[in-house]
């Protein structure tokens, strides 16, 4: 099943999604997230995006459900894919770091990740 089919039952991304994306850092800082990337089509061109892809490097006490709920509310959509960088396949980790847009750095982990997976 493709992305468009996966989200066909949901309303499209909100008209003000660019503005909402600019406030992602505020939402992420309320959670134990050490590092976060916006990746996929939303990191390049929102006009063709069917969803929002965010990858995180979680810290202690992290809850995917809590972060997903807060992000969904802040973005005004459930067209959201949240990826845990710790368990993502190495090729996906490399792609996220190489082509994504870093939207939060809370630790030295970002530079270590970039060094480990730079192409």
* 3-state SS track over 56-105: EEECCCCCHHHHHHHHHHHHCCCCEEEEECCCCCHHHHHHHHHHCEEEEE
pLDDT at 108 (0 to 100): 65
Buried b or exposed e, range 25-62, using 16+ CB within 10 angstroms: eebbeebbbbbbbbbbebbeeeeebbbbbbbbbbeeee
Domains of the chain: 11-117 (3.30.460.10)
More confident position, 49 or 20: 20
Q: Tens digit of pLDDT for each residue in 43-85?
A: 887 666 788 999 999 999 999 999 999 999 999 999 999 999 9
The pTM of the full predicted model, rounded to 2 decimals, is: 0.82
Instruction: Report the distance separating Cα 60 and Cα 53, nearest Å.
Output: 22
């Amino acid at each position: 099943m493709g992305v468009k089919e996966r989200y066909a039952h949901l309303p499209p991304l909100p008209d003000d999604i660019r503005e909402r994306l600019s406030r992602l850092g505020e939402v992420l800082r309320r959670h134990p997230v050490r590092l976060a990337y916006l990746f996929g089509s939303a990191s390049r061109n929102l006009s063709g995006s069917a969803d929002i892809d965010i990858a995180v490097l979680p810290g202690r006490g992290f809850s995917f459900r809590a972060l997903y709920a807060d992000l969904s509310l802040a973005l005004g959509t459930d067209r959201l894919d949240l990826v845990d960088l710790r368990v993502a396949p190495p090729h996906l980790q490399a792609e996220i770091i190489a082509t994504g847009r870093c939207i939060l750095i809370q630790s030295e982990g970002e530079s270590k990740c970039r060094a480990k997976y730079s192409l």
